[in-house]
Amino acid sequence: MEEKKDYKNTLLMPETEFSMKANLAEKEVMYNAKWLENQIYQQLLKRNANHESFILHDGPPYANGNIHAGHALNKILKDIIVRFRTMQGFYSPFVPGWDTHGLPIEHKMLSEAKKNAKDFSAVELRKQAAAYALSQVEKQKEQFKRLSLLTDFSEIYVTLDKKFEAKQLKLFQKMLNEGLIYKDLKPIYWSPSSQSALAEAEVEYADHVSPSLYVGFEVSKETEHIKKGDYLLIWTTTPWTLIANSGVAINADFDYVLVKANNKRYVVAKDLLETVAQVAKWEEFEVIANLKGKEILEAKYISPINKMECPVVEGHHVTLENGTGLVHMAPLFGEDDFIIGNKNNLVKIMHVEDDGMLNDKALQFANVFYDDANPLVGKFLEENGLLVAFKKIKHSYPHDWRTHLPIMYRATPQWFVSLKPIKEEIQKALNTVQTYNDWSKKRLALMLENRETWCISRQRTWGVPIIIFYDKNKQPVIDNEIFDYVINLVEQFGSDVWYERSADELLPEKFRNLGFTKETDIMDVWFDSGSTSIGVEPGNVKAPFDLYLEGSDQYRGWFNSSLINSVAWRAKSPFKALLSHGFVLDGKGQKMSKSKGNTIDPLDVVNKYGSDILRLWAANSEYTADVTIDDKILLQTVEIYRKIRNTFKFMLGALSDYDFKDVEVSSIHALMLERINNLETRILNNYEQYRFVNVIKDINNFIIDFSSYYISITKDILYLEKVNNPERRQVQYIFSQLILMLSKALAPILPTTAEDIYTYFNIPLKEISVHMLPFIKGHAFSDDLETKWAPFFELKEEVYRLIEEKIKNQTMKRQNEAHVIINTDSEWIKSLPLTKLLMVAKVSFGNETKVEKLDSVKCLRCWNHFEKNNFDEKLEICNRCKEVINE
Q: Which residues are annotated as a binding site for ATP?
A: 594
| Amino acid letter, 825 | D
Characterize the bridge pairing of strands 255-261 and 247-250.
Answer: unpaired
Characterize the bridge pairing of strands 842-845 and 857-858.
Answer: unpaired
Q: Which residues contact 154 (CB under 8 A, 6 or more apart)?
A: 42
**Of 693, 689, 549, 695, residue with least CA distance to 621:** 693
Characterize the bridge pairing of strands 231-236 and 627-629.
Answer: unpaired
Gyration radius of the chain over CA positions: 38
**Of 185, 186, 197, residue with least CA distance to 334:** 186
- Cis bond before residue 574 (omega within 30° of 0): no
Q: Which residues contact 129 (CB under 8 A, 6 or more apart)?
A: 101, 105, 106, 109, 462
For residues 484 and 496, give the distance between their C-alpha atoms in angstroms, rounded to a whole number.
Answer: 17
**Helical residues (DSSP H) of 450-575, grouped into ranges:** 480-493, 497-500, 503-506, 525-529, 532-535, 558-570
DSSP code string of 818-860: EEEEE----HHHHHS-HHHHHT-SEEEE-SS-EEEE---EE-T
**Of 788, 833, 773, residue with least CA distance to 674:** 788
Binding residues: 550, 594, 859, 862, 878, 881
| Amino acid letter, 573 | S
Binding residues for L-isoleucyl-5'-AMP: 550
For residues 169 and 619, give the distance between their C-alpha atoms in angstroms, rounded to a whole number.
Answer: 39
Q: Which residues contact 186 (CB under 8 A, 6 or more apart)?
A: 338, 411, 412, 414, 416, 453, 455
Q: Which residues pair with residue 454 across a beta bridge?
A: 417
Binding residues for Zn(2+): 859, 862, 878, 881
Q: Which residues contact 235 (CB under 8 A, 6 or more apart)?
A: 212, 213, 214, 215, 322, 323, 324, 326, 327
What phi, psi does 882 have (nearest 5°)? -60, -45
DSSP code string of 592-646: P-TTTT----HHHHHHHH-HHHHHHHHHTS-TTS-EEE-HHHHHHHHHHHHHHHH
> What is the maximum alpha-carbon separation in the chain?
128
